[in-house]
Amino acid sequence: MFGYGLLYVIYAFLSVVPDLNPIYFLVASIPVALSGGLITIISGIYAYISDTTTVEKRAFRMGLLDASLFGGLVVGAYLSAPLFFIAGQYGYLTVFATSATFYLLGYLCVIFIPESVHVSHVGSSSRGLCSLFDKQLVIRMITTCCKRREHYGRAIIFLVIIAVSTCVITMEGDSAVSFLYTRDKFGWDIRTFTQFGSLSTLISVFGTVAGMYIFSVWLRIPDSMFASCVFLTKCGQTLICGLAPKDWYLYVGCAVGILGGVSGSLCRSIISKTVPLEDIGTVFALTSVVEALTPIAASPLYTFVYNATLLTFSGAFYILSSAINFLDVILLSCVVVLQRASPVHPYSRIQVPE
């Protein structure tokens, strides 16, 4: 959080320097890169939730986390433009300073949160700043995730990680070319597309909170079964969007995929109930690394598909997303089978004091 705060502080200073070479803005990325960036934040938050919540409430709490992230995106999207125009010639300075303020406030909140785990030995001879570049920590992460586990734990972990990474591919890929699709097929401009994106995000926030409470907390449907059904609804959503003859079909697709936002939370909840508490942070770290790498392939893949099918079937990339989501349905169905083939997992019965 402090690294991102420094990022926007530097952005704010650089934004008022006239005729500045854009290469200097790369300097602002150094604090984020050294502190771990978004991977560290997300992994840490999910691990903390796993450490401090009961098994019954864990998926719902993770869903609230995703809902807060989606909600923050909507609020930020609506506030950035007014802030920019109200500030006039200091528009960039105002936007970057506001972002820096919120990140630094978040940092102050984080430092007062009590630690859930006290680590006395991390399996490395390096200490301090040198431990950031210790390859033994990377080796430890890989060996922890790959070691043999009872009750098909290793197979479940990698099935879920694959499902999470392919889910990121569809989200990043769709976002890369969906505006081009709506512009070419329905004549949308950027304002119409932004309004649609904000509405779909709000629908996702509502679906995440309500879906987690109804299906996970109230009905107590197992996470793996719930996740497979969610990916099935995402298949329907992308099919409707890809085959849409009119633009209002896109809103129907959003309604069909209203529960799509819970997929990431459910997958992480499955992982947290498959490994012991001391391994959760390590497995989440590998999951986040895979999530961070998959967008590198997603945008070029979807751009290639869209360009190749633009004149014949411009919605083909949505059909690709539907096929990938169906693959995730198969992966989560395999998880359901593996869990039913084994006795009740001991980690799913752990009660963590709140």
Q: What is the pLDDT of residues 71-130, one digit of tens each?
A: 888 888 788 888 888 888 888 999 999 999 999 999 999 888 888 877 655 555 555 566
Cα–Cα nearest to 61, from 72, 74, 69, 50? 50
pLDDT tens, position by position, 283-295: 888 888 888 888 8
Region of 172 on the Ramachandran plot (φ > 0 left; ψ -120 to 50 alpha; else beta): alpha
The reported pTM is: 0.81
- Quick check: 59 pLDDT over 90? no
> What single letter denotes the amino acid at residue 312?
T
Q: Distance between CA 96 and CA 80 in Å, rounded? A: 10
Give me the percent of the chain exceeding a pLDDT of 70: 92
Tell me the two tokens of residue 256: 């069909």
The full set of domains in the chain, from first to last, is 2-115+132-343 (1.20.1250.20)
Cβ pair 208, 262 in contact under 8 A:
yes
Buried/exposed 94-111: b ≥16 CB within 10 Å, e otherwise: bbbbbbbebbbeeeeeee
Number of Cβ within 10 Å of residue 350's Cβ equals 15
Q: Give the 3-state secondary structure of residue 289.
A: helix
Cβ pair 241, 175 in contact under 8 A:
no
